[in-house]
Structure 1
Amino acid sequence: MVATSRTAKSVKNSAVALGFYFINLVLQFFSRKVFLDHLGAEVLGLNTTATNLLQFLNLAELGIGTAIACTLYKPLFDKDTTAINEIVSLQGWMYRRIAWVVIAGSTVLMAFFPWIFAKMPLPLWYAYASFAVLLVSALLSYFVNYKQIVLSADQQEYKIQYSYKAAILVKTLFQIFAIKYFDNGYVWWLVLEVVFAVIASVALDWMVRRTYPYLETSISLGRRLSRKYPDIITKIKQIFVHKINGFAVSQLTSLVIYAFASLSLVAYYSNYMLIVGGIGALFGAVFNGIGASIGNLVVEKETNQVEQIFNQLFSFRFLLISTLCFSVYTLSTPFITIWVGSAYLLDSTAVWFIVLTMFVGMGRSLAEQFLAAYNMFFDVWAAISEACLIMILSIIGGYFWDLHGILGGGFIGMTVFVLLWKPYFLFTKGFKRNVWRYYKMYALHLAMAAIAWGVSCYILSILSFDSESSVFEFIVSCILYPLIYGFLLFCLLYIMVDDMRILVRRILHFRGI
């Protein structure tokens, strides 16, 4: 019963997140269009800059939410309401302190706005108003919204979508209408941003209180609770390093390309990264919601059963990731040609490295979710080493081989830690199993993917489908290409991999994990 409930919650979390992802994608497309048409690129650029400045200040939060969620898995499973209240109270206390840091940092930063926005053709109050409005929304997450962590850790992420995210979608609709039909459209945009930030926070708080009537936090006990739960503080420091590593790695490539090439090449590269980022967000919408289910699984099950579920999830995710990578490799060129023109294309070698890096990067999340479930964040040296290795190899590669060397260096650096270290760490310290079982499984999956890739390319060459000739043929290609590759790879994995067959039977009979 518990297993079936866990599976049902995972499916519901993923389905709801996916639905909200597509709705938000459509709304953001129209919102950006209306924003540009009625307010202009300068206001949009100001809004983007203010958002980026605030994101930099919010780096102080990195690690707390993840550490609290991982710590909540066991008390939620044991229904230990006292521990749950204490852990969330500790989070509220830490968030309150971070909020004051953000406020202080924002005050100092705003003092420099006359210099930061000196070249801005808009009135300076636009910058202050934009930043202040976005700051209010951010502070609400520290003072009110932090309790949503209980929903996330308890496999009820979908309730966050129904309450908070739904209000944000309604806000976007109102903002589109206000900008399009009212005078002083940006003022209305700012007012609606604040109003709906409050509404969304109230809706989320109501959802949390309704789901957990016993949840009562006491911020004043924070200092005492920090001494009672010292492991949480340790984990926060460890996760902070991992998060900073992820932030640094995501920014390194563009900086190195600019250093060894040009801003134009950075723009070409960013077009491809927009595609990869969109697909990554879609993939995250599907799979991020199962993190709490994995945490619950680790608390309940024995190691043998946990490893079996890991293997089944690995096969399923490998199928999806490989199919997405094949689609990007075969369809990114026609997409960019239709979108911005063939002058912005990168050569096939560069695209290969982008796809390979995408393949490795998307594959890291499964091991990281299981490591989080085991509360294993103490490989801080690996996070620092990964960023350093990627930077060193990218710089060396850029010096000798320009763009190809930069992308190749980043791929090699990421591969060392994602494909070699992370699985080794999980299997030896978490599962307490020989990691060669994983490497053999990975090699078999790679062999099947290579066969499916070659056969798919051969089939597509016979079909002689010109996906660049028109938008219609491109859309047909977007359906046909992943179907051919995905079907071939699925058949090969079903024949050759036991875990894929077990997973299919589990899905058909809806047997829980």
Structure 2
Amino acid sequence: MRVKKSIRGASVSLILNIITLMVGLISQAIFIKTLGIEYLGINGLFNNIISMLAIVELGIGPAIVYKLYKPLAEKDIESIKALMLFYKKCYNKIAIIVLVIGFIMLPFIKIIVNADIDNNIYFIFMLFIFDASASYIYSYKRSIIQADQNNYIISLVHIGYVITLNLIQILILIYTHNYIIYIIVKIIFRILENLVLSKISDILYPYLKDKNIKNISEDILLDIKKKVKGLIYHKIGGFMVSGTDNIIISKYLGVAYVGLYSNYYMIINAVYILISQIFSAFTASVGNLIVSETREYSYKIYKKIMLLNFWIYSIATSMIYTLIKPFIKLWIGEQFVLPDIVLVMLCINFYMLGMRASIGIYKDASGIFWEDRYIPIIESTINIVASIILVKKIGLVGIFIGTFLSSIIVVFFSLPYYVYRDVFKKNILEYYKVYIKYLLLVLISVLAISIITININFDNEILSFIFNMVISFFIPMIVNIITLNKTDEFIYFKMIVINILKNIKKFEFFNNNKIYNKNR
């Protein structure tokens, strides 16, 4: 059942997020042509600032999802009802707090925005605040769908939201060129999406509508508070690392640079979200796995997920490095291309962030939020200090070097240390051996791709793009197969693929647990 739900969730997320990316690219191109690069910069900058307000959530969501795994597995309806009621009360308060903090920030907006924009800037920011607050209305009911390994339902609703919203926003841009209406429509659809998911959760879990609900027990409340305290640090650190880039760019280089970077960020972040949805589909299954299986078996599954993690990100990193520059030229024009050194750093950061996925699944599913609470603060401090110093000395690339320097502490210390110590009871050197091996393989792939694409050129840009796309996909595949084909993890996935191909006509591979049970 865990395998079936994980594969189904991952498959749906993959397909739907590809559609989301395609719709987003069209919408972004029209946005640039109708409103210009400065409004694109404002859009990216305000999204960054608003992401800071997510700190107010304090990590209550992940803490509640973690606490839902056990009662859902045991069908403890009273505990589920109590947790969901507590979650609802918290999110209603958070929506109000976000509004208040947002309005307090309002007078300081022009200090951050380094551009000549009229006084509508204040009203625009107010709309962003309303959007952030609206995101908490009814959204708490997503958690039970997610914890019950039905994330594909959230994905299906979200894709409907994305496609409909973007189509309407495109029409607004074309016929009105009005950025304010563009944002108002987004707020309306945000509320509608949450309402739809709320109704679906009521249908799937009708007991959520019960009026007779007990308060959560004191021991559960204390455990949630402890995890939330740890997650506060992660929330603050996460924003300071990923949410401050546009603010620093705007302050030191101007909002137009934010617009240029936004195009790269949109593509890279879309790919990251696309892949993350695949791995997030495994989180609830891993949570169920940890509470119901042995530690050794859990570790065996982790190694398989880590191989999958590397395989996907080695290909994705190679393709981004090879294709993003020619793609931007074809998509919106050569004037929007950033220097190659910036692209190199963006790819390095993308790979390092992506390779956290497999170990991060086990960290979140195990509820390790308190133990490493100080790490995000250290990471974010290094990131901001290094980024500000380096942006003054070497420009835009300095900001991303700062992100790289700060990421090292997470990739090579906090994530593997706590998971290997507390979850697997293994020596952390095992993690380093595998990580470094995988890193060398992706470097070999990128080097081989660079040599081939430099020496083979086509006069036709589209033909050249297609050739580069094929090369950047198959080179990592070939390198990985040659070097990893004898590992247990590779053989496991090889047999799954064979099994799927054998049964694809009958659509029976979800029910065939032969390989899965064999590897237990």
Query: Could you say whether these structures have the same fold, taking a TM-score greater than 0.5 normalized by the shorter chain as the test?
Result: yes
| 2:412 equivalent in structure 1 | 419
| 1:102 equivalent in structure 2 | 98
C-alpha distance in structure 2 between counterparts of 1:356 and 1:44, whole Å: 25
Q: Are 2:283 and 1:287 equivalent residues in the alignment? A: no
1:187-235 CA distance string (max 9 Å, x none): 865664455444333321221011111224779976x757752111111
State which drifts further: 265-274 or 57-66: 265-274
| 1:489 equivalent in structure 2 | 480
Look up the equivalent residue of 1:325 and give its one-letter code. T
Look up the equivalent residue of 1:212 and give its one-letter code. Y
Q: How does 1:293-312 map to 2 (within 5 A)?
A: 293-312=285-304
C-alpha distance in structure 1 between counterparts of 2:313 and 2:415, whole Å: 18
| CA gap 1:53/1:218 in 2 versus in 1, 3 angstroms | farther
1:433-474 CA distance string (max 9 Å, x none): 12222222233334444554555555556xx33268513321
| 1:500 equivalent in structure 2 | 490
C-alpha distance in structure 1 between counterparts of 2:397 and 2:130, whole Å: 43
C-alpha distance in structure 2 between counterparts of 1:484 and 1:235, whole Å: 43
| 1:65 equivalent in structure 2 | 61
| 1:150 equivalent in structure 2 | 144
C-alpha distance in structure 2 between counterparts of 1:44 and 1:267, whole Å: 5
State which drifts further: 110-119 or 415-424: 110-119
| 1:387 equivalent in structure 2 | 380
C-alpha distance in structure 1 between counterparts of 2:52 and 2:260, whole Å: 25
Q: Are 2:371 and 1:371 equivalent residues in the alignment? A: no
C-alpha distance in structure 1 between counterparts of 2:111 and 2:385, whole Å: 34
Contact 2:48–2:243 (8 Å) recurs in 1: no
> How far 1:29 moved relative to its partner?
3.4
C-alpha distance in structure 1 between counterparts of 2:422 and 2:396, whole Å: 38
Contact 1:99–1:142 (8 Å) recurs in 2: yes
1:70-106 CA distance string (max 9 Å, x none): 1111111111111111111111111122122123334
Contact 1:133–1:190 (8 Å) recurs in 2: yes
C-alpha distance in structure 1 between counterparts of 2:145 and 2:379, whole Å: 32
Contact 1:69–1:150 (8 Å) recurs in 2: yes
| CA gap 1:111/1:221 in 2 versus in 1, 3 angstroms | farther
Helix, strand or coil for the counterpart of 1:375? coil
Contact 1:467–1:477 (8 Å) recurs in 2: no
Among 170, 191, 204, the alignment partner of 1:176 is: 170
C-alpha distance in structure 2 between counterparts of 1:253 and 1:131, whole Å: 18
Q: How does 1:81-480 map to 2 (within 5 A)?
A: 81-108=77-104, 120-121=117-118, 124=120, 128=123, 137-177=131-171, 180=174, 189=182, 192-193=185-186, 195-216=188-209, 228-251=220-243, 272-336=264-328, 340-341=333-334, 344-348=337-341, 351-377=343-369, 378-391=371-384, 407-408=400-401, 410-457=403-450, 459-460=452-453, 464-466=455-457, 469-480=460-471
C-alpha distance in structure 1 between counterparts of 2:398 and 2:40, whole Å: 35
Look up the equivalent residue of 1:57 and give its one-letter code. L
| CA gap 1:133/1:475 in 2 versus in 1, 3 angstroms | same
- Count of matched residue pairs: 500
Gap regions ≥5 residues in structure 2: 500-508
State which drifts further: 503-512 or 156-165: 503-512
> How far 1:504 moved relative to its partner?
2.1
C-alpha distance in structure 1 between counterparts of 2:246 and 2:297, whole Å: 42
Contact 2:40–2:262 (8 Å) recurs in 1: no
C-alpha distance in structure 2 between counterparts of 1:219 and 1:131, whole Å: 41
C-alpha distance in structure 1 between counterparts of 2:210 and 2:310, whole Å: 41
State which drifts further: 256-265 or 292-301: 256-265
| CA gap 1:453/1:489 in 2 versus in 1, 3 angstroms | farther
> How far 1:278 moved relative to its partner?
3.1
Look up the equivalent residue of 1:14 and give its one-letter code. A
Look up the equivalent residue of 1:480 and give its one-letter code. I
| CA gap 1:390/1:218 in 2 versus in 1, 3 angstroms | farther
Contact 2:321–2:347 (8 Å) recurs in 1: yes
C-alpha distance in structure 2 between counterparts of 1:268 and 1:193, whole Å: 23
Helix, strand or coil for the counterpart of 1:142? coil
State which drifts further: 397-406 or 284-293: 397-406
C-alpha distance in structure 2 between counterparts of 1:15 and 1:293, whole Å: 15
Gap regions ≥5 residues in structure 1: none
Contact 2:78–2:214 (8 Å) recurs in 1: no
State which drifts further: 480-489 or 330-339: 330-339
| 1:19 equivalent in structure 2 | 15
C-alpha distance in structure 2 between counterparts of 1:262 and 1:46, whole Å: 10
C-alpha distance in structure 2 between counterparts of 1:114 and 1:380, whole Å: 33
1:222-264 CA distance string (max 9 Å, x none): 6x75775211111112112112212111245667778988888
Contact 2:390–2:398 (8 Å) recurs in 1: yes
